[in-house]
Amino acid sequence: MPGHPIIIGLNRMKARVYVTLKNGVLDPQGRAIHHALEGLGFSGVEDVRAGKLIELSLAEGTSDADIEAMCRKLLANTVIENFRIERIAA
């Protein structure tokens, strides 16, 4: 394709990291969302827990152990948060 470089031998993959507060940890953002939903007339929602999604573009060969280490060292506060890793096609 004109104007686009061709990169050979570079296989990419992605991982999604879902970070959520542990059960029993107060979730003020979730409570605020719940309150707002009730204010908008959505009375069927019993509870809301908010979290974050982090999507990583990774080089081929990045191991599950490497991704888990990223989570434990930076992406999640493991004292109060859980994380779940999901690999996806790039």
83 lies in some domain = yes
The amino acid occupying position 86 is: E
45 lies in some domain = yes
How many domains are contained in the chain?
1
31 lies in some domain = yes
- Which domain, by its residues, includes 80? 12-88
pTM (2 d.p.): 0.80
Backbone angles phi, psi at 68, to 5 degrees: -60, -40
78 lies in some domain = yes
From 1-5, 14-18, 34-38, 47-51, the region with the lowest mean pLDDT? 1-5
- Domain containing residue 71: CATH number: 3.30.1280.10
7 lies in some domain = no
5 lies in some domain = no
29 lies in some domain = yes
39 lies in some domain = yes
30 Cβ partners below 8 Å, 6+ apart?
A: 21, 47, 48, 49, 50
pLDDT in tens, 6-35: 444 456 799 999 999 999 999 999 999 999
